[in-house]
A and B are shown apart, each in its own frame.
Chain A
Amino acid sequence: MDIDGEDVSRRLHVKFVTKLDSPFKVPVNSVAIPSNVTRLGLSSIVNSIIESENPEWKTEPFDFLIDGELIRMSLEEFLLAKGISAERTLEIEYIRAVTPRKEEEPSLHDDWVSAVNGSSPRFILTGCYDGLGRVWSSAGSCSHILEGHSGAISSVALVNSNDAETVTVATASKDRTLRLFKFDPAESVDSTTKVRAYKILRGHKASVQSVSAQKSGNMVCSSSWDCTINLWNTNESTSEGESVSVKKRKGNNQAEESQSEGEAVTSLVGHTQCVSSVVWPEHDVIYSSSWDHSVRRWDVETGKDSLNLFCGKALNTVDVGGESSALIAAGGSDPILRVWDPRKPGTSAPVFQFSSHSSWISACKWHKSSWFHLLSASYDGKIMLWDLRTAVMTKHTHSFPL
């Protein structure tokens, strides 16, 4: 009995620290805890410490880091795996755990949803294979329908949301055009209004795969199956020799609307196959991924690619973010999500490879503010949230029926 008891209660001296604000803070004292606790145990310990000081404390899940690495096993195993001495007092940092979100009421579409954009806090923008873009002010209630495309919408982007009154969005479609829409998200929350594009961007010779807007909202870029990336102006003015065409809506008695047509400002040529995805994270830098197995960084001023990462697989999606918005995450025709660090000299090998998916990766997105969180969606019906601080396990997965 004695021996067993001793074995179980091997104790570690730990100190809990955090960067969180006051209600989450615990006194910086060394605490002795059993070595076989896991994240759950640590979380309950921290909760009980906080509760002892603050009686109105509501239990909250925490995540724990040792030397910047998330604990994903028992403390003992973690120390053993990392070769950290258990003799000295351990400093364990805790952060608020990312809890699985509750699924809200689904926003039902008539056809496959091909694109979604939730970067605005006020609404969700979706694109659908029926050629309509939809704006959902809240879960399940569609406020606007963006119509005009004759082919399936492949990508949507928020162009300008700073303006409180009207919001500009861009949609890319398989009918080889992009359309720009303006609407006021505040109006007509109850009923659905139909919106027509104020500008049609023609110039691609094949299906447009992806669209992304500059931060300022003055320009959008789009990538297409014709291997090019086109840059477009978004302003409504037609003074720059842009052809104006006033179209009548066929079979509809609504008032005529003026639609200007825009031509591409410039074209970035270099990819040899379908450019599947573009992002425009900085003023004059565009990242693109392509089926020719490469990720490229384009300098908008010169129109040249300044970086060319070769991957070996056809890529479907790219996003830039992470630590100082410099990491490139891309996924494609295999179940591996790769993250590159272009600042790393001398190598073009990915710094991270996440391979828990079981099919093609269709989309990936960095967390807006967190450096460590990365979201990926795959054809296996799962969305996975990755934390760069641990390479052991994914955090949460949501499964959807296919």
Chain B
Amino acid sequence: MTKRSKGANEDKLIETKSKNVSGKSQKQKKPVEAESLKEEDLLQASGTDSDYDGDSLPGSLNSDDFDSDFSDSEDDGTHEGTEDGDVEFSDDDDVLGSDNNEEHGSDEDSERGEAVEESDSSEDEVPSRNTVGNVPLKWYEDEKHIGYDLTGKKITKKEKQDKLDSFLATIDDSKTWRKIYDEYNDEDVELTKEESKIVQRILKGEAPHADFDPYAPYVEWFKHDDAIHPLSSAPEPKRRFIPSKWEAKKVVKIVRAIRKGWIKFDKPEEEPNVYLLWGDDSTSDQKSKHLTYIPPPKLKLPGHDESYNPSLEYIPTEEEKASYELMFEEDRPKFIPTRFTSLRSIPAYENALKESFERCLDLYLCPRVRKKRINIDPESLKPKLPSRKDLRPYPNSCYLEYKGHTGAVTSISTDSSGEWIASGSTDGSVRMWEVETGRCLKVWQFDEAIMCVAWNPLSRLPVLAVAMGRDLFFLNTELGTDEEQEITKERLHSGNIPEPDASVAAIVTWLPDELYGGIKIRHFKSISSIDWHRKGDYLSTVMASGETRGVVLHQLSKQKTQRLPFKIRGLPVCTLFHPSLSYFFVATRKDVRVYNLLKPGEATKKLETGLREISSMAIHPGGDNLIVGSKEGKMCWFDMDLSSKPYKTLKNHPKDITNVAVHRSYPLFASCSEDSTAYVFHGMVYNDLNQNPLIVPLEILRGHSSKGGVLDCKFHPRQPWLFTAGADSIIKLYCH
């Protein structure tokens, strides 16, 4: 062990010793002595730091040598001094030691024995070299000293060592790992072997000192069992050894209660302690049982005129008073200001009794219910509809008129391309117009008023079906290419009409049409409506008075007619083919029935319109939504996926709806009425089944003369345009 470590050992020893001292009454002396010793060592250590390195002494000190080492402490200085030749040290020693020397020696002698005995007490009370106390070191950061020693001298800071040097020093020094820098005293402290052992033990969780035996045998100082004399000499009470009767009774009682179910072991569930924080108190039951307090109406605050001595200008003149007399009793002012010279002269209130009586009467007679006023902004109740601007395009203004008919135009139909429009009129003429210019291209003149015109939905089969009276004509419009014309002519060739079935012979007869070279089908009752199937081969006709035989299907390619494979209940009004499936809609006066043409046995669906008299019907191109117009001016939108009841019923027209129409590609539908207006609606059907159709009224189209109204409306197949046929013999085109 080096000399340096020895010095440190000494220091340590002093500390341990001082603890022993602390137990005694020598506190005063110990610090001085300890300080002096420590100082010596430190000075030694600091002064000869470099010299010690690698300087080894023969023999080694271990913890057992502490005592002997300590005892030599006095001559330690000299001893070391001789070794190192350090003069400074001895001087210092003299100075410090001069006062204490005598006591020192004697103290040490007396303390020595105990120090050996109990060397494990804490080190806290060892006063350090620095006397500044437990203050933050920060305070001395900028000073040259780190504090004061016992004598009040400044303890100067050690020279700051170069980092590199210190590092190099640590590399060479094998004891580095034991060294700790004591900031407070500004010195390096090396742990002794003993100390490091203690540290290790603490780390292991054992007692710090090796001497301490945690499992020392227990020494029993007191023996209870064999005590001859008990503390009290009272005899053992009876209750100590006899079972308690009352306890038994209590147990029986509890047992009984448990058996009978009076005691329940599982805790009852706690009811949540909540109450209506924002609720209306008046609605709660508790309140409604009692009569609510109804405060009397608040009186107006009196003004100057109610004063007993009002200013003169408040006093009515005689004339005014006279005029009051002439007024109605309700209009008469309730109070007439009067002047009194003093309060004493004011008479008693003449109405006091009467008014209190009336108040009582009020309270007695007034209904004990408070009127609830609901403050809801009526605007907020309106459904939020998108702006009309966002729903463009839709027809809104009329730019073109098709003039030429002399009677009311009853029916119009556009061809599939949208180039032509056909119209039928009560004057017996069927006209074909060019949509773009309004030019009438063709006229077919008949004797009867035209009931219905319908263009074949196939563009390659430009055939026009015209219904009038009891006859249905197929007219060749002579449009289309040459090949298409040939096919058309072949279809309308009336040479080989097959024999009709017996079942339909009484209803219809197929005849050649001499007038225009087409085909004529004569029915047994007058036709009210016709509808083409989407494939352009089948055509359904409705005879309103035909009752059960009122609807028939014609097949153009085979020139055959067949009756519906099912029975129709009620008077048919109009029929519709489903735009994509094999369903067939038949509207009777009150409801609409859906039949499956391919499976006649299948259960039919009934759409309950709730209308008084259906007039027309149109189907959305998606096939799931049906619009029904009625003669009382109501229009029903059916979402057939949703229910058999109308999804929306729109009551717009004051008069009969004559027709309804749905646009093929734009989300538009329209209704026209005898009030000579047509309404255009936005009717958006979403693919998402969760979203209901959006219906927004867009525009009222006026323009037709008020006589007779609008009899038919049809959308242009490709443009957002609406054609309306008026009873004023004009067809109008409304554009976007």
Contact = CB atoms under 8 A, between A and B. Distances in A.
A207 B736 CA distance: 24
Contacts of B736: 313, 333-334
B122 interface: no
A222 interface: no
Given A152-B439, A274-B419, A333-B399, 11 more contacts: A205-B481, A274-B417, A291-B418, A291-B719, A313-B735, A314-B735, A333-B735, A333-B736, A335-B399, A360-B400, A379-B438
A359 B481 contact: no
Contacts of B439: 112, 129, 152
Interface in A353-367: 359-360, 362
A176 interface: yes
B458 to A, nearest CB: 14
B436 interface: yes
Interface in A295-348: 312-314, 316, 333-335
B179 interface: no
Contact of B399 (A273, A276, A379): A379
A334 B735 contact: yes
B481 A273 contact: no
Contacts of A129: 439
Majority DSSP secondary structure for residues of A touching B: loop
A95 interface: no
B719 A176 contact: no
Main secondary structure of the interface of B (DSSP, over half): loop
A205 B437 CA distance: 20
Nearest to B721: A333
B481 A333 contact: no
Sorted nearest first, the 6 A-B pairs with minimum C-beta distance are A359-B399, A333-B735, A360-B399, A225-B419, A314-B719, A205-B481
A17 interface: no
Interface of A: 112, 114, 129, 152, 176, 205-207, 225, 273-274, 276, 291-292, 312-314, 316, 333-335, 359-360, 362, 379
Contact of A379 (B392, B400, B718): B400
A186 B439 CA distance: 35
Contacts of B436: 276, 316
A360 B417 CA distance: 20
B419 A207 contact: yes
A312 B735 CA distance: 12
Contacts of B417: 206, 225, 274
B223 to A, nearest CB: 110
Contacts of B735: 313-314, 333-334, 360
B734 to A, nearest CB: 11
A152 B417 CA distance: 18
B337 interface: no
Given A207-B419, A291-B718, A316-B436, A176 B399 contact: no
B710 to A, nearest CB: 21
B400 A273 contact: no
Contacts of B419: 206-207, 225, 274
A315 to B, nearest CB: 11
A312 B393 contact: yes
A276 B718 CA distance: 14
A333 B719 contact: yes
B667 to A, nearest CB: 16
Interface string B412-426: 000001110000000
A198 to B, nearest CB: 22
Contacts of A335: 399
Contacts of B392: 312
A84 B438 CA distance: 49
B456 to A, nearest CB: 16
B446 to A, nearest CB: 24
23 contacts: A112-B439, A114-B437, A129-B439, A176-B481, A206-B417, A206-B419, A207-B419, A225-B419, A274-B418, A274-B419, A276-B436, A291-B718, A313-B735, A313-B736, A314-B719, A314-B735, A316-B436, A333-B719, A334-B399, A334-B736, A359-B400, A360-B399, A379-B438
